[in-house]
Amino acid sequence: MSSHVIVAIDGPAGAGKSTIARRLAERYGYLYIDTGAMYRAVALAALRAHVALDDAPALARLAETIELPLTAEVQEAIRRPEVSEAASKVSVHPEVRAALVRKQQGYGARQSVVMEGRDIGSVVFPNASVKVYLDADFPTRVERRQLELQEKGMRADAEEIARGIEVRDQRDATRETSPLVVAPGAVCIDTSGLTIEQVEERIVDLMKEVLVR
């Protein structure tokens, strides 16, 4: 689909996708795309416009208007728990996913990208140059999300976070369109006992194989 280098990073919440994707994008000078933020932005727009979260056509129209980069105000707002919950509901609609996938593929058609989400290697860029699936054990994922929220000065109750992740995992795994799966050809990395630097270097090793071709 694209002559550019596409690095696809998938995995569940708390696996470390965002941190690693940002570091890789900075390291190689590629565009960083957080597709989860795009779904969150649609959810935020829906909440603000009082659009029902089961109104797929209206949500898809909102998805068409989302552009990156998001403003600092939006970046902060989309991390709120209520927006996270809404994003989980928004993301199940095929119409919304189709609209955002088109945008995501457009970014990758124009330049090299590091794109992270839940269906990048399986749906958005099945022929990505590098495909990685990051995972971690459940307690680690909860702890990471708790620390993330605390650093932003937001409410970070561990039990509440755990329930939210469980619900999101269930929705991601069972939705009919683009469920969270390990994409064919993806390299799986369990990040539970690894440092950020160790995870990054594992992916850099994969990148070296691509860049010397």
For 172-208, what is each residue's pLDDT tens digit?
Answer: 999 888 999 999 999 999 999 999 999 999 999 999 9
Q: How many CB atoms lie within 10 A of CB 212?
A: 6
The whole-number pLDDT of residue 213 equals: 63
d(CA 93, CA 171): 11
- The answer to whether 134 and 17 have CB atoms below 8 angstroms apart is yes
The whole-number pLDDT of residue 1 equals: 40
DSSP state of 120: I
Q: Give domain limits for the chain.
A: 6-202
pLDDT 10s per residue in the chain (213 long)? Answer: 446 899 999 999 899 999 999 999 999 999 999 999 999 999 999 999 999 999 999 999 999 998 888 898 899 899 888 998 899 899 999 999 999 999 999 999 999 999 999 999 999 999 999 999 999 999 999 999 899 888 878 888 999 999 989 998 998 999 888 999 999 999 999 999 999 999 999 999 999 988 876
- The answer to whether 186 and 10 have CB atoms below 8 angstroms apart is yes
CATH topology of domain 6-202: Rossmann fold (3.40.50)
d(CA 9, CA 191): 13
